[in-house]
Amino acid sequence: MMLSPQDAAGALRDIEAAQARSAKLHGCARSSPQLLLWGVLWVIGYGLQYLFPAHAGVIWGAIVPIGLIAGFAALRGAGHEVGWRYGAVALTLVAFFAAVFLVLWPINPRQQAALIPLGVAAAYVIAGIWRGPRYVTTGIAVAALTLAGFFLLKQHFFLWMAGVGGASLILAGIWLKRA
């Protein structure tokens, strides 16, 4: 059977659309468990920081490695390819925030606690420029909630981040899962 140029052009358009759609949805499926995981960890981490503000270093020193290992395990368990890039991304983020804190030092715990979610929010907005509006919305929501808590709820900022920040990540994870 001979295909006409119109048929060939139509088939190529369909292929491109199908590939783009599956890449986008696969990305959502990949990100969703990570958001759910970090949402829960934010609830625990910021909740503990609210209760024991003097032990923030110990709390996050435990939470971050747990999150990275659990995130790795979640991706592997779901059959996603997780190579050196996962470690490289984690290392880059840790190095970036360490450098930022070093440059801005002395920095108080509230500022530290606000900077990391703002960085994560920016990463989501940037990812969303390629991957779709759900990532952009998630990033903007996290940034807006972080700033609102930082400026309006000075005494209860950690509690706000535990409840509203963590919940927003969990909701975003569910939202991406349903994409």
Partner 1 sequence: MATLRGIPQGEWIEFSRLKAILQATDGNLGSHIATLEGAGYIAVNKDFVGKKPRTRVALTRSGRKAFAQHIEFLRTILDAAASRHNDQEGTS
* Binding site residues, partner 1, CB under 8 A: 3-5, 8-9, 11-12, 14-16, 18-23, 25-26, 29, 77-81
With a CB cutoff of 8 Å and minimum separation 6, the contacts of 121 are 138, 139, 140, 142, 143, 146
Q: How far is the CB of 10 from partner 1 (least distance, A)?
A: 9
The rounded distance, in Å, linking the Cα atoms of 77 and 87 is 17
Contact 176, 134 (CB under 8 A): yes
Contact 58, 162 (CB under 8 A): no
Which CB, 154 or 178, lies closer to partner 1?
178
DSSP classification of residue 176: H
Q: How far is the CB of 29 from partner 1 (least distance, A)?
A: 6
Contact 80, 43 (CB under 8 A): no
Which CB, 23 or 104, lies closer to partner 1?
23
Contact 95, 89 (CB under 8 A): no
Which CB, 29 or 125, lies closer to partner 1?
29
Q: How far is the CB of 49 from partner 1 (least distance, A)?
A: 34
Q: How far is the CB of 7 from partner 1 (least distance, A)?
A: 8
Contact 101, 116 (CB under 8 A): no
Q: How far is the CB of 16 from partner 1 (least distance, A)?
A: 8
Which CB, 23 or 95, lies closer to partner 1?
23
Which CB, 47 or 132, lies closer to partner 1?
132
With a CB cutoff of 8 Å and minimum separation 6, the contacts of 92 are none
The rounded distance, in Å, linking the Cα atoms of 69 and 59 is 16
